């Protein structure tokens, strides 16, 4: 390849990168603007770290915090959910008795994609990248259903049916929305994300390898 063709190729690649980055920046800026215009911040915290110190502080929150959304959620699911929201909790947020009857406002497909682009930029340094292999395996299933009793609060699929409790989020399709790396980080350093919570702290109970296996099992539920 001669020098002129190399130069043309480099110029073409540079232009392509510029267009992609420029388009992404517009989408990010639009998503941030839509998030603000819809007053999403009135229910969802986008500035970390978590600051609540008591259950009363936690109960004042109207919706889950999103300051680590990019570390927690899978982008494709996030965009689809914002356009067509469905209940993830059978019980009302911050309640273990009241049924969840609230409906999250839906965004247009374009708005949902742009807000998803924005939220995916909100990440937490405590969440490693590539630490967990997402896979259904007998070890993870045994830990979830028997050894650590996660099924007491969270439901998963058992064939064509769901089994488990309803006081925690439904995990039967967690693999569509949650990243295994985040599930692992949440088990390992729960107070970073939820200083006050009802879920047991497993740090002194589950070793690191088991945490990764369990996180991978949860994040493979689809």
Compute the C-alpha angle 11/17/21, nearest 5°: 145
pLDDT in tens, 149-160: 999 999 998 888
Domains annotated on the chain, with CATH: 1-123 (1.10.760), 126-222 (1.10.760.10)
Q: HSE on the CB side for 136, CA within 13 Å?
A: 11
Average pLDDT of the chain to the nearest whole number: 85
pLDDT in tens, 20-58: 333 445 566 799 999 999 999 999 999 988 888 887 877
pLDDT in tens, 86-139: 888 777 766 767 787 778 999 999 999 999 999 999 999 999 999 999 999 999
pLDDT in tens, 133-190: 999 999 999 999 999 999 999 999 888 889 999 888 899 999 999 999 999 999 998 8
Determine the Cα–Cα distance for residues 45 and 111; give it in Å rounded to an integer.
Answer: 19
Q: Is the dihedral of CA 121, 191, 187, 55 positive or negative?
A: negative
Determine the Cα–Cα distance for residues 218 and 173; give it in Å rounded to an integer.
Answer: 9
Of 65, 99, 74, 63, nearest to 221 by C-alpha is 74
């Amino acid at each position: 390849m001669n020098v002129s063709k190399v130069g043309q190729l480099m110029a073409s690649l540079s232009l392509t990168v510029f267009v992609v980055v420029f388009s992404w920046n517009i989408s990010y800026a639009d998503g941030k603007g839509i998030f603000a215009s819809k007053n999403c911040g009135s229910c969802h915290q986008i500035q970390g770290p978590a600051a609540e110190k008591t259950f009363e502080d936690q109960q004042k929150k109207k919706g889950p915090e999103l300051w680590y959304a990019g570390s927690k959620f899978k982008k494709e699911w996030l965009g689809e959910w914002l356009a067509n929201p469905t209940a993830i909790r059978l019980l009302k947020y911050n309640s273990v008795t009241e049924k969840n009857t609230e409906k999250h406002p839906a965004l247009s497909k374009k708005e949902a994609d742009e807000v998803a682009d924005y939220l995916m930029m909100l990440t937490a340094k405590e969440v490693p990248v590539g630490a967990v292999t997402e896979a259904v395996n007998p070890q993870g299933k045994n830990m979830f259903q028997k050894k650590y009793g996660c099924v007491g609060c969270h439901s998963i699929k058992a064939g064509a049916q769901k089994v488990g409790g309803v006081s925690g989020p439904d995990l039967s399709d967690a693999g569509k929305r949650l990243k295994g790396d985040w599930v692992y980080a949440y088990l390992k350093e729960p107070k970073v994300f939820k200083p006050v919570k009802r879920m047991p702290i497993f740090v002194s109970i589950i070793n690191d390898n088991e945490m990764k296996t369990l996180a991978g099992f949860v994040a493979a539920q689809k």
